[in-house]
Amino acid sequence: MKYFYVSVFSFFLFSCASIPSSTVTLTKEVIKEADNMHQLNVSLVNRLFDERKEKINLFIENKYTPTLLKKFEGLLPDSLDYKKELPNILNSIVPIINHKKDSLQSILDSQRQDILNQLNSNYSDYSKATTSLQNLINSAVKVKTTESDALSAINQLTGDKINIKKVENTINQSIDKTGNALNKLITIEKVISEK
């Protein structure tokens, strides 16, 4: 999911001729929403595992313990006085029950921690990527604003004597032609070096 957001914003960043200043606010809001979603995911994982622990407790109380008691009851001789021996019987059964419960809950705690670690790791990667993206957008907007300010200042100084847009287009076309020429040279160089 983090790569999706980064890809979308990168697409907008590099495909647009200019980046509106509102993009800065939009990306901040998206990042804030992602922070909220991460906290929600952590809360949901904790709630899910708390519910599972409760189910383990209910299983131990309602099924495991009665079954274990019946098993022990079948192993005791008929001559045994249950009322007198009940504390001793419970002392031998309770550790078995507690061990089983602790074992099951320990597995759940381990699974919970693994999932939370993965969530936090993914979020950390996402956070680093979005911070970099936010910095890029801020820089691009700053450049665009500075460019607009410079063009306005030039227009104020020169009036209608110089067509700034035409000069800008000519410079951009020259840069594009230079880039195309360099690509052709690189292609020719590759062909020559292969032979």
DSSP helix/strand/coil, 80 = coil
Those residues whose C-beta lies under 8 Å from the C-beta of residue 100, and which sit 6 or more positions away, are 60, 64
Check residue 21 and give its pLDDT: 67
> What does the alpha-carbon distance between residue 107 and residue 156 come to, in Å, rounded to a whole number?
73
CB 109 within 8 Å of CB 10: no
Check residue 45 and give its pLDDT: 94
Q: Which parts of the chain register pLDDT below 50?
A: 2-17
Check residue 14 and give its pLDDT: 44
Check residue 6 and give its pLDDT: 42
CB 5 within 8 Å of CB 122: no
The structure tokens listed for 52 are: 């599972």
- State the pTM of this model: 0.55
> What does the alpha-carbon distance between residue 132 and residue 149 come to, in Å, rounded to a whole number?
25
Distances (CA, A) of 127 to 53, 141, 158, 177: 32, 21, 46, 38
Check residue 39 and give its pLDDT: 93
| Domain limits, the chain | 40-159, 163-194
Check residue 120 and give its pLDDT: 93
Give the total residue count for the chain. 195
Q: What's the one-letter identity of residue 65?
A: T
Residue with tokens 């993009």: 23
Check residue 182 and give its pLDDT: 64
Question: Greatest CA span in the chain, whole angstroms?
Answer: 118
Check residue 42 and give its pLDDT: 94
Check residue 43 and give its pLDDT: 94
